[in-house]
């Protein structure tokens, strides 16, 4: 093998460095109450490849594995048509997992020994099969829930969206027509129909998750009140004050004597009805000086200076305190408002409570997927494609 690998094959080496000794004691895992009975029509194609009336998207996969490809050195088309897993009877093909790695795999094949390449391909499937199975389950569940006319409208919408993807692919592969694009994709082991299927499945899976995670129904007042009453401790408020401070640091004012002289002047200005906020902005060295010495609501027990806290809850509202002595500084405070212990009224938190309940009821993607998985019947046909075996993260090769 060449000593220099194409950069696009870089991730392949990481995958090959991971353990391939992933067995599975039981290849078939079944759950009660399958969501799709009878199974989708795709099953007919997998069970009888020579049968008539197969769906176009599945026929495209089998068509890639024509008789002329059997025994060929490049087994991409034959391998891509391999059924890895059945979900409620519907097949998941190798190409459903490998399609997005087409270019990387094509280049890796030319730079790796056959055995190493096969190992790479299986490692990719081990790593990605779970997400592909989950996506397919969401798609099949959505199809079972939708009425025929709804599916028709959805497919028409997806067809329009896919035309933009076709234009993007033409630009990327540097071709001008749809036929040329089909040839270019065939060379990469896929087809336009396969890409359309994957494109539609991705969109439908996302749409299903969005539908199931839609905003819950409005919550009535009795339920909101019940939540409020059962969580009443969350809405209790301790005694609290809003206050202002003028703090003079001895070091900042040129010494203790200068600081005391300035404080006396400030007290005289306050007596002459000069604004506390204005004086704080002019003279205070406290952390809120720029805001006029204003502190927001302060609850009991929240200040480290317990003597200052006691002053705040004892000082008459609207009256500046006497000078409070502290090491290296002096200060005065003004209490603007004080509230005793109480409970926030229901009306003030009603909207907040409704948002909390809706958030609790809105299922996340993982919860939605797990609910669908719990009802599914999944048959594993290839040991390395078991979606329930957690593949180890690839480690860099030494």
My answer on whether 196 and 287 are in the same domain is: no
Worst-scoring range by mean pLDDT, 3-17, 101-115, 197-211, 375-389?
3-17
The three-state secondary structure class of 182 is helix
Q: Could you tell me the strand order of the sheet in which 83-87 lies?
A: 28-30, 377-380, 83-87, 90-93
CA 191, CA 61: separation in Å to the nearest integer? 8
The three-state secondary structure class of 240 is strand
- Would you say 322 and 334 are in contact if contact means Cβ atoms under 8 Å apart? no
Which tokens in the block code for residue 142?
């959505």
Please name the residues in contact with 290: beta carbons below 8 A apart, sequence gap of 6 or more: 281
DSSP line for 50-103: T-SS--HHHHHHHHTS-GGGTT-S--HHHHHT-EEEEETTEEEEHHHHHGGGHH
Q: Is the pLDDT of residue 46 over 70?
A: no
| Count of Cβ atoms closer than 10 Å to residue 114 Cβ | 10
My answer on whether 265 and 379 are in the same domain is: no
Q: Rounded to 5 degrees, what angle do the CA atoms 209, 214, 220 make? A: 150
- Would you say 99 and 56 are in contact if contact means Cβ atoms under 8 Å apart? no
CA 287, CA 376: separation in Å to the nearest integer? 62
**pLDDT for the residue 170:** 93
My answer on whether 324 and 377 are in the same domain is: no
Within a domain: 38 = yes
My answer on whether 208 and 316 are in the same domain is: no
Cis peptide before 38 (omega within 30 of 0): yes
My answer on whether 165 and 312 are in the same domain is: no
Within a domain: 182 = yes
Within a domain: 85 = yes
My answer on whether 42 and 138 are in the same domain is: yes
**Could you list the residue range(s) of the whole structural domain that residue 246 is in?**
239-340
Within a domain: 100 = yes
Within a domain: 346 = no
- The strand pair at 342-343 and 377-380 is best described as unpaired
Q: How does residue 388 score in pLDDT terms, banded at 50, 70 and 90? A: confident
More confident residue, 55 or 100: 100
User: pLDDT tens, 191-239?
Assistant: 899 889 889 888 998 888 888 876 667 889 999 999 999 999 999 999 9
Tell me how many domains the chain contains. Answer: 2
CA 204, CA 52: separation in Å to the nearest integer? 27
My answer on whether 374 and 334 are in the same domain is: no
CA 365, CA 188: separation in Å to the nearest integer? 33
My answer on whether 19 and 139 are in the same domain is: yes
User: pLDDT tens, 307-341?
Assistant: 999 999 999 999 999 999 999 999 999 999 999 99
DSSP line for 187-210: HTT--HHHHHHHHHHHHHHHHHHH
Highest average pLDDT, of 35-39, 42-46, 349-353, comes from: 349-353
My answer on whether 207 and 247 are in the same domain is: no
Give the helix/strand (H/E) hosting 278. Answer: helix 276-283
- Nearest in space to 207 (alpha carbons), one of 146, 259, 261: 146
CA 108, CA 102: separation in Å to the nearest integer? 10
My answer on whether 286 and 207 are in the same domain is: no
My answer on whether 191 and 43 are in the same domain is: yes
Within a domain: 361 = no
Within a domain: 145 = yes
Q: What are phi and psi of 247, to 5 degrees?
A: -115, 130
Q: Is the pLDDT of residue 6 over 50?
A: no
Q: How does residue 369 score in pLDDT terms, banded at 50, 70 and 90? A: confident
User: pLDDT tens, 337-350?
Assistant: 999 999 999 999 99
My answer on whether 291 and 375 are in the same domain is: no
Q: Is the pLDDT of residue 102 over 90?
A: no
Percent of the chain with pLDDT over 70: 78
The three-state secondary structure class of 260 is helix
Within a domain: 351 = no
Q: Rounded to 5 degrees, what angle do the CA atoms 113, 182, 177 make? A: 135
Q: Distance between the two ends of the chain, CA-based, in angstroms?
A: 17
Q: Which residue has the tokens 């499945």?
A: 201
């Amino acid at each position: 093998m060449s000593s220099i690998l194409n950069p696009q094959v870089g991730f392949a080496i990481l995958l090959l460095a991971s353990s391939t000794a992933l067995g599975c004691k039981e290849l078939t895992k079944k759950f009660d109450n399958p969501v799709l009975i009878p199974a989708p029509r795709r099953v007919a194609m997998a069970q009888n490849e020579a049968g008539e009336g197969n769906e176009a998207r599945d026929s495209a996969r089998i068509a890639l594995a024509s008789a002329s490809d059997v025994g060929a050195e490049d087994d991409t088309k034959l391998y891509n048509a391999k059924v890895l897993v059945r979900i409620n009877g519907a097949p998941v093909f190798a190409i459903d997992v490998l399609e997005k790695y087409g270019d990387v795999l094509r280049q890796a094949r030319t730079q790796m020994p056959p055995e190493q390449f096969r190992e790479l391909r299986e490692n990719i499937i081990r790593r990605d099969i779970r997400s592909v199975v989950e996506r397919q389950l969401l798609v099949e569940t959505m199809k079972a829930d939708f009425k025929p006319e709804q599916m028709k409208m959805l497919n028409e919408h997806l067809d329009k969206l896919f035309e933009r993807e076709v234009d993007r692919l033409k630009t990327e592969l540097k071709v001008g027509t749809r036929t040329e694009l089909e040839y270019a994709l065939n060379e990469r082991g896929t087809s336009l129909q396969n890409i359309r299927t994957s494109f539609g499945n991705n969109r439908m899976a996302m749409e299903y998750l969005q539908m199931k995670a839609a905003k819950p129904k409005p919550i009535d007042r009795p339920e909101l009140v019940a939540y409020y009453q059962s969580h009443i401790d969350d809405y209790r408020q301790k005694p609290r004050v809003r206050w202002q401070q003028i703090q003079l640091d001895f070091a900042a004012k040129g010494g203790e004597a200068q600081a005391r002289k300035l404080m006396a002047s400030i007290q005289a200005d306050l007596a002459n009805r000069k604004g506390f906020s204005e004086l704080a902005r002019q003279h205070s060295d406290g952390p809120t000086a720029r805001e006029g010495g204003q502190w927001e609501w302060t609850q009991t027990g929240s200040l480290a200076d317990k003597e200052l806290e006691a002053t705040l809850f004892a000082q008459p509202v609207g009256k500046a305190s006497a000078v409070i002595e502290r090491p290296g500084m002096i200060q005065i405070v003004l209490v603007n408002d004080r509230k005793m212990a109480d409970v926030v009224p229901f009306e003030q938190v009603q909207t907040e409570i409704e948002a909390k309940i809706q958030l609790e009821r809105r299922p996340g993607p993982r919860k939605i997927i797990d609910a669908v998985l719990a009802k599914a019947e999944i048959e594993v046909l290839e040991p390395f494609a078991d979606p329930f075996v957690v593949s180890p993260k690839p480690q860099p090769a030494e």
